[in-house]
């Protein structure tokens, strides 16, 4: 019996796709920020990162089982960008209405004061 024989085990390196995980995580967090109008800037940043990480993660040649995760992250990135635009419009309109109300305080014209209650 050969006692010098050391059994050799074959190890498998399970190559993951960290970009797909990052895209999905940033997309989910960005979607939550996008639902709150005053945090729309965070949704823009996270959505841009999620979209870029998702697209790069989808292009990885060794990735097979994480392709759907990268696609979901990219789609959530686009949704975050859309929510960021909607939030930016809401904040812009609110600031414009507030500016009109502050301008009408010093004038005697009360025709535009119905929005400043």
- Which residue from 105, 89, 72, 84 is spatially nearest to 41, judged by alpha carbons? 84
- Per-residue pLDDT tens digits for 33-48: 999 878 888 999 999 9
> With contact defined as beta carbons under 8 Å apart, do 60 and 94 qualify?
no
Please give the model's pTM, rounded to 2 decimal places: 0.74
In this prediction, residues 77-94 reach a mean pLDDT of: 92
pLDDT of res. 63: 59
pLDDT at position 14 over 70: no
């Amino acid at each position: 019996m050969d006692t010098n024989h050391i059994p050799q085990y074959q190890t498998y390196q399970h190559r993951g796709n960290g970009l797909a995980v990052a895209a999905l995580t940033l997309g989910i967090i960005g979607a939550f920020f996008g639902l709150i109008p005053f945090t729309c800037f965070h949704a823009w940043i996270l959505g841009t990162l999620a979209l870029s990480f998702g697209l790069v993660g989808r292009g990885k040649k060794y990735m097979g089982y994480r392709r759907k995760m990268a696609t979901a992250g990219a789609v959530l990135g686009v949704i975050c960008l859309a929510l960021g635009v909607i939030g930016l419009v809401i904040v812009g309109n609110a600031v414009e209405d507030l500016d009109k109300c502050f301008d009408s305080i010093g004038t005697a014209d009360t025709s535009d004061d119905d929005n400043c209650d």
